[in-house]
Every structure is written in structure tokens, then in C-alpha cells.
Amino acid sequence: MFKTMGTAALLCSTATLAAAQMQCEGLTPEALGLSGVTFTEVAPVPAGEDSPAAQCRIRAVTAERTGTDGRDYALQFELALPDVWNGDYVHQFNGGNDGEVKPATGGLGAGTGDETPLARGFAVVSSDAGHDGKAVTDAGLAGGARFGFDLEARQMYGYKAVAVLDPLARQIVEAYYDNEIGHSYGIGCSNGGRHAMVAASRMPQSFDGLLIGAPGFNLPKAALQHAVDVQALTAVTGDLATAFSPADLQTVADGILQACDALDGIEDGLVMDTANCQASFDSAALQCAEGQNSACLSPEQVTALNTIHAGTADGGAPFYSDFPWDPGIAGGGWRFWKLESPIPPWEKKPIIAVMGAASLAQIFTTPPTEVAGDPAALEQFLKDFDLTARADEIYDTSDAFPESAMEVMTPPGSDNPELAEFRDAGGKMILFHGVSDPVFSVNDTADWYGKLDTNNGGNAGEFAKFYPVPGMTHCSGGPAVEGFDMFAELVAWVENGTEPQAVTATARASNPDLPETMADISRPLCPAPQVARYTGSDPASADSFTCE
């Protein structure tokens, strides 16, 4: 870790550092000293629509095998080698159930600003985490999670894929440029954020910096929340899509704003003081009074919301985590995850009732349960899932699965984190998480960070920063200013020792949830536990706020 280029190399121009010692066309694994790797495509790609920078793009496969389920598996990856290399490297961790090689750019949308790491000159690798999500064609919408019937496929998805691919990708980069990598970074959101946290625990000396968005580090527990949600929401009308209309969710957001918007010193459609909001807002105020039939909710709707936010229906400990009340609940991402989608093959079911149900059944419980791949059957699985009787299946093992889903997916030590090896190696990490994330709770990340800080004597901020993003839903979107460049902050911290403080967030035109009132504003994102408070004159400017 932390290979440092010599003084001469640092003084060279970027173009000199990029001088590849090999030609892209005709490049072979043998020329790079590789074994057990097959290149499926090697091509020079010009800067343009298909790539943010001119690059040599390698698509390849390794770790080919036949699983215990009789299916073929392999680790497929893409490596982008920019023509103008800055000497550094990014491992791009992807989200969802993986199963697809996303373009290797290192971009996160919200989180990496307007310019991807590839465009900045970083070599970038991306993979499918050891399984092809489209390989199982006879299982319908459940096919993408069918790999969960093979233990090693679960392990590759959970923690092995990065450990297998990372040294291989580095070897290619260094051979191609005939130069050592200067600094290495890992970047990911959602399941990709979980991959990054796993790397900090299992590979503590591998990355100089980790950018971690909305980390699903308790992913099997979060899958139990899908059952909590579906059961609570279908109890309202019998149908997920009609449980809450968009207007109903806006009513909820308006109620939260009425109680909490001014807590940070200004009414601007954003609740920056999330902690105090939880004490100020009472969901009972949303319920229709006698004779009222608009801009209010039914008792059944209020009950459902209370259950979802508590993470349990009976007032006991949540199966996963509780969730904060935040006006981002009116964002399209919240609806897409929990209520309905615009995807015709899903019969407009939300993500939790399709991908979430298949994952809980086939990846995150032991033994796995084969489920039919039609939307109605997947939703029914969550409706029928007995949380009281079956929740512990995420911890269960068997002869075929000697590691539980929690052991496979969760970073070791995450229930009481210290990250001493990562810290002592000089590693730095930045976490960000939308306060209105509908699938992975910002409260779970806040709890993890609080334990990390305690276990580091109150000094976790010396190597790890956590930034809640008010109004933002899952990884991006929501009625929020969610355009920010945490990657630049991480690079400055790693390479220059510049410790991040307040990070300016701006409105992104690509955000479909952005209200017109937020189109031209900026706000500071404060490292937890600080809160942004209005202390200046111009209400549109981040400079008018102070992190306190």
C-alpha cells in the first residue's frame, strides 16, 4: 500500500507518466505476464460518447469454474487504461446484485462531481463480482439472484471478487505503463459502498482512500426490511402502488417541513438538523381530522409509515434499522424502491418487491428458497415471509453453506468497528448517505460511525469522515442539493493531507426531483455530527451557512 513515486516521476508531466510501454491493439495476457486470464476484447477507444477519455479498454474474464449448482461461473471485468494517465488507480465497486460489468469510469453521479475519475486520468477497473446476472434465463425476474444457490458465488459477491481482481488489475496497469501505481482508491455506492467497507476490513493495506456512498453493509438485514415494508404497505389498500399516491407522500413531506424546516435557521425546503427533527415531528399530525378529506392521511397510512420508519410493527427492536423522517420521502427514488416502478416487465412493482424479494429468498437466507420469477410471486414471497420465525435465517448455516449470509456479506467487525489496520496503514475514507435513503438507513451508517469514533477515542475523523445528505434518496436524487465532489476531497486528503471539512453541494439539473426553489442554491454538507445552520445573508449560498 501507499507506493510513492520518486521525486523525478512526480515532477514529470502527466503525458510523460502516461507513456505506455505497450501498444493497445494486439495486447495479450501473455505479454503482460498473466495466467488464467482471457481477454475477450482489447481496443483503443477515443474520447467521446462511449468514454470520457481516450483509453485502451480491456474486457476480460478470469476465475472460470463450474458451480455446485451445475452452472458456469467466471469473474468478468473491464479495465480502462487512459492515454493520459495520472499514475493512480481506482477500483470501481458496483451496486445491486452485481452480475453486470458496468463501464469502468469510476463515476458515481452524486459523489464524484461532473468529471469521472477516468476523465481525470485514473486507470479504472470494474467487474460483475463473479456471476452473470443474465445467465439464468429460465427463472424470470428471479434469475439475477439465482447464483445464491452456489456458496462460492455468494462468497465472490460478498468479498472474494475484489480480492481476486484487485492484484490482477494492478498488475496489468503497472505492466502496461511500465510504472508503479502511485495511489489507489476504491469507490462505490449502495452494494458498492458495502464492497468498499469490506475492503477496509479484509484488505486494510490495499487502498489509500475509499469513497463510500450509502453503504449496504448490513445487506441481509436490509433485505428483511423489504418484508417489513411490503407487509405494512399492502395492509393499507391491498396494493403497493395505491397505498400512497405521490400527493400523499408530498403531504408527508410538507408535514415534516412544517415541523422541522426552520430548525436550521431558514425555511428552504431542506431539513439540515435531522436529529432535532425526529423530536419535533409527530406523524399523528398527518392523520385526517374528523371531516377532513384532503392533505391528510388515513389511520392505515399513518400506521404503515410508523412501521416502516421504526423497522418493526410491534414496537420492538427493528429487524434492520429505524429510518429518520425527512422530506425526501416525496422523491421519486423513495417511490421507486417501495411502491411502484415504471418498468413494464416488473408489472410496475417496486424494486423491493422484485430484486429485493429474489435476493432475500435466494442469497440472504440459508438454505436458499427457489422462487418463481414473475412479479406477483415475488411480491407474495415477501407478503408471506414470517419475520418472527424466519429472520434468523440470515445467520443460519448448513453443510452446503458453512458461512451464513451475514458472514459472507458483512464487513468483519462492523458491529463494533475500529479499523485499526486500515487506520494504521494511513488509509482515509469518506462516507456519504442520503437522509431519505429508502433502502439502506442513514441511521445504520450513523450508528456504525458513532461506534467507530468511540473505538478510536473520539478521533475517527482523523481518518474517516461521514456526511449525511439531507433530502437525498438512494445514492442520488430526491428534493436535495446533491451535486458534490467527495472524490476530489478524498484525493486531496490522501495526497496532500488536506482534511475535509464542509463540502459544498449544488443543485444538479439531471435530478428529476429538484424543486424549482432549489435550482440555484448551494449548501454545505457537514461532517457528522455537525449540522449546517444559516448564519449569513444570501439564502442561496453555501457561504451563508456554518457547520456547528
- Burial class of 367 by CB neighbour count within 10 A (0 to 12, 13 to 18, 19+): middle
Q: What is the DSSP letter of 199?
A: H
Among candidates 333, 65, 383, 60, which has minimal Cα distance to 228? 383
**Strand pairing category for 37-45 and 209-213:** unpaired
- CA–CA dist 76, 38 (Å, integer): 10
Contact 176/83 with Cβ under 8 angstroms? Answer: no
| 190 tagged catalytic | yes
Contact 334/240 with Cβ under 8 angstroms? Answer: no
Among candidates 43, 440, 35, which has minimal Cα distance to 222? 440
Catalytic residue among 208, 248, 437, 485: 437
Q: What is the DSSP letter of 35?
A: -
Q: What is the DSSP letter of 319?
A: S
Contact 90/192 with Cβ under 8 angstroms? Answer: no
DSSP per position, 5-34: --HHHHHS-HHHHT--SS-STT--TGGGT-
Catalytic residue among 127, 190, 414, 522: 190
Contact 130/74 with Cβ under 8 angstroms? Answer: yes
Contact 461/527 with Cβ under 8 angstroms? Answer: yes
Q: What's 331-376 look like in SS3?
A: CHHHHHHHCCCCCHHHCCCCHHHHHHHHHHHHCCCCCCCCCCCCHH
Contact 547/532 with Cβ under 8 angstroms? Answer: yes
- Burial class of 497 by CB neighbour count within 10 A (0 to 12, 13 to 18, 19+): exposed
CA angle 105, 107, 110 (to 5 degrees): 170
Among candidates 88, 87, 86, 124, which has minimal Cα distance to 107? 124
- CA–CA dist 63, 216 (Å, integer): 26
| 474 tagged catalytic | yes
The label of the residue with cell 435465517 reads: 393
Catalytic residue among 474, 476, 522, 544: 474
Which residues are tagged catalytic?
Answer: 190, 437, 474
